[in-house]
């Protein structure tokens, strides 16, 4: 998978959002992207309902499974299970600052324990040929200097990690996850410098990647971009990201207006039509219409008939009528 990481788009793992249905929609909107599961703890992977946690549609590939763990043996055993399901890679969570995650000695607190991270990487690498990647912050608490970050990335690279997703904020462990997304300032320069100092490593910029201008201003300075909450707050934005990055890779014209102002109503209709067909097939398997239609909620973000779109979706959720009301939903797009 590392060969596909150059100037690539990654859809960040997000608890409560990046389930298999959301990922299917992301694949339709941004076909060149790499999608991630929600974080799955090693305990859940080893002792939970593996089919529910790990099953995915082949259309989602390439897909990376993010795990949370700090016990090397448990990480290795989890990876063997994950590999059997056909995933494209493994991502170790070293970035989540939630107190609940910290209680399990996983997430951002592992940045303070690099030897444990190294042991986990080596244990996983011993049992799989899948690429192991790391998602982490650029620092934790007062340990936020550039030298420490560089040493951490170098250690990961020397242990076999060739790609890291760097959230360009440090984590403050006594703050909530929401506060950690808002209070620590973004420091893109740290991420740019890591990529410059380690050109052989794929460094993926994460944090605040929510406008096309951010992608344009950073595209020559990192190996790719990871988008988090913008992916569900304004999912169609990922279409512009995906198209711009793909075009950049093909050395074509990358004029901003070509991607931010073009009329893409027909493309949006096609995506919705395809997703509803998928949703109908999943509904017949017993998945609730609310779960299936929720990923579409913000697809018309900032458009004139966004309120009508959400109202129509809500009616479909309540009445369990996916295909019956499809034309009514698509009409919202036609009338934009």
SS3 36: strand
Q: Which residues pair with 206 in a beta bridge?
A: 167, 226
The sign one gets for the Cα dihedral 327, 295, 206, 250 is negative
Residue from 65, 96, 120, 300 carrying the catalytic annotation: 96
- Do residues 165 and 226 touch, judged by C-beta distance below 8 A? yes
Q: Identify the bridge partners of residue 208 per DSSP, sorted by sequence position.
A: none
Distance CA 190, CA 198 (A): 12
The CB density around residue 35, as the number of other CB atoms within 10 Å, is 26
C-alpha 42: how far from its chain's center? 19
Strand partners, 224: 8, 204
- Element (DSSP H or E) covering residue 66: strand 63-68
CA 161 to chain centre: 18
Residues facing residue 226 across a β-bridge? 10, 206
Active site residue 65: no
Residues paired with 137 in a beta bridge: 167
Those residues whose C-beta lies under 8 Å from the C-beta of residue 64, and which sit 6 or more positions away, are 1, 34, 35, 36, 37, 87, 88, 89, 90, 91, 133
Q: What is the DSSP string of 7-28?
A: TEEEE---TTT-SHHHHHHHHH
Helices then strands, each counted (H, E), the chain: 17, 9
**What span, in angstroms and rounded, lies between the C-alpha atoms of 44 and 67?**
10
Q: Which of 20, 156, 13, 2 is nearest to 93 (CA)?
A: 13
| Enzyme catalytic residues | 96
């Amino acid at each position: 998978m590392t060969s596909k990481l150059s100037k690539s788009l990654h859809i960040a793992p997000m608890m409560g959002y990046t389930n298999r249905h959301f990922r299917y929609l992301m694949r339709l909107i941004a076909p060149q992207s790499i999608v991630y599961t929600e974080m799955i703890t090693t305990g859940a992977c080893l002792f939970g309902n593996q089919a529910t946690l790990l099953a995915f549609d082949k259309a989602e590939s390439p897909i990376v499974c993010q795990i949370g763990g700090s016990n090397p043996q448990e990480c290795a055993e989890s990876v063997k299970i994950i590999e059997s399901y056909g995933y494209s890679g493994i991502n170790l969570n070293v970035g989540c600052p939630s107190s609940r995650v910290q209680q399990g000695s996983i997430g951002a607190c592992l940045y303070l324990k690099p030897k444990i991270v190294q042991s986990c990487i080596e244990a996983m690498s011993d049992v799989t040929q899948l690429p192991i990647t790391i998602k982490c912050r650029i620092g934790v608490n007062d340990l936020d200097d550039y030298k420490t970050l560089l040493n951490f990335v170098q250690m990961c690279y020397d242990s076999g990690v060739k790609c890291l997703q760097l959230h360009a904020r440090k984590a403050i462990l006594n703050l909530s996850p929401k506060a950690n997304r808002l209070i620590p300032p973004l420091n893109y320069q740290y991420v740019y410098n890591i990529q410059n100092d380690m050109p052989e490593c794929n460094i993926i910029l994460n944090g605040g990647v929510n406008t096309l201008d951010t992608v344009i201003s950073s595209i020559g300075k990192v190996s790719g971009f990871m988008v988090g909450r913008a992916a569900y707050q304004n999912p169609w934005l990922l279409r512009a990201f995906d198209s711009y990055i793909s075009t950049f890779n093909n050395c074509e014209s990358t004029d901003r207006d070509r991607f931010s102002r073009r009329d893409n109503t027909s493309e949006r209709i096609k995506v919705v039509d395809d997703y509803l067909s998928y949703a109908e097939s999943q509904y017949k398997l017993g998945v609730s219409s609310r779960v299936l239609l929720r990923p579409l909620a913000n697809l018309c973000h900032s458009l004139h008939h966004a309120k009508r779109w959400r109202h129509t979706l809500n009616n479909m959720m309540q009445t369990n009528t996916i295909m019956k009301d499809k034309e009514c939903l698509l009409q919202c797009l036609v009338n934009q």
